[in-house]
Amino acid sequence: MRRENVYTVLVVGRDRVGMNTDTIMVGCLDCDAGTLNVVNIPRDTLVNVPWAVKKINSVYGTLGAEGLVDAVEDLVGFHIDNYVIINTYIFQQLVDCIGGVYFDVPMYMYYDDPDQWLEIRLSPGYQLLNGYQAEQLVRFRQNNDGSGYGNGDLGRINTQQAFMKAMARQMLTLGNIANLPQIISIITEYTDTDLTSGNIAFFAEEFLKLDEDSIAFYTMPNDTVNIRGGSYVSIQLRPWLDMINACLNPFTQDVTEANLDVLTYSADGLYSTTGAGQDFYSFYDYYG
């Protein structure tokens, strides 16, 4: 049975020039309880797909938005109500629409990737970030000299979550969302989404009723594993089910392993919850 006034949304951030979905978040808004839970799914998470790079980050470029929604639903075990896929340029505009965000940048961030039209130049410290600077912050993983987050993408997720908390805190403190009509227009016209302008206005209204302490961010429980020379993220299945049911599940019945299509890796090899997993030879060989 579906819980009343509970809504789930898949929010995806992708780059401007490729089809990489480096940020994947599932949110659950409980309007009656006044809570918002957001769970990040790491970009390198193993998925049970027939092609050779079996990462959730590869799905959008292969199957598009609906295929990515289906893949995430396989991981969470329930139908997701809505989705929005935002590229980094649109993210810039959305941050600028709310007047920027005050944030404590944790380290020097200097990185260049001409192929991605990406130039990162941020100094550490508390400062007001405009949209262009906010894009640099949330995309950063390492500097040109190789320094940066010791845990790679998981470190970037931690910073992204901290930035989202700061953004939420700023909007709740003000008690309004600046330029909401413009934000609605940007999302409906320039993102890949099934949200309507009415949906966005409703979610904005319900968001402003929340307390800062009622907004929580989590990361899918995981282990980093190496398969044929490639780095993957393997889901810790039991803790993941506990997190789904505590934070995301919009139904009264618990999600169980039988509801998932999850590919995991352990010392005993690859395991699929559906029994239709992949063998090692179906993976791309990164040493090749």
- Structure-token pair, residue 200: 């966005």
Distance CA 226, CA 284 (A): 12
Say if residues 40 and 217 touch (Cβ distance below 8 Å).
yes
At 247-281, the pLDDT tens digits run 999 999 999 999 999 999 987 889 999 988 788 99
Q: What is the DSSP letter of 3?
A: P
Q: What is the DSSP letter of 177?
A: -
| CA neighbor of 8 nearest in space, from 238, 255, 213, 235 | 255
pLDDT band at 156 (very low <50, low <70, confident <90, very high): very high
Residue spans of the domains in the chain: they are 6-282
Q: What is the mean pLDDT of the chain?
A: 95
Options 3.50.50.60, 3.40.630.190, 3.40.50.300, 3.90.226.10; which CATH number does 6-282 get?
3.40.630.190
Q: What percent of the chain has pLDDT over 90?
A: 86
Say if residues 100 and 93 touch (Cβ distance below 8 Å).
no
What are the CA-CA distances from residue 27 to residues 177, 212, 256 (Å)? 19, 15, 19
How large is the C-alpha radius of gyration of the chain? 19
Distance CA 138, CA 110 (A): 13
Q: Give ∠ CA 36-102-161 in degrees, rounded to 5.
A: 35
pLDDT above 70: residue 137 = yes
Say if residues 120 and 112 touch (Cβ distance below 8 Å).
yes
Say if residues 251 and 194 touch (Cβ distance below 8 Å).
no
At 64-80, the pLDDT tens digits run 999 999 999 999 999 99
At 159-202, the pLDDT tens digits run 999 999 999 999 999 888 989 999 999 999 999 999 999 999 99
Residue 122 half-sphere exposure toward CB, CA atoms < 13 A: 30
- Residue 276: predicted pLDDT: 80
pLDDT above 80: residue 16 = no
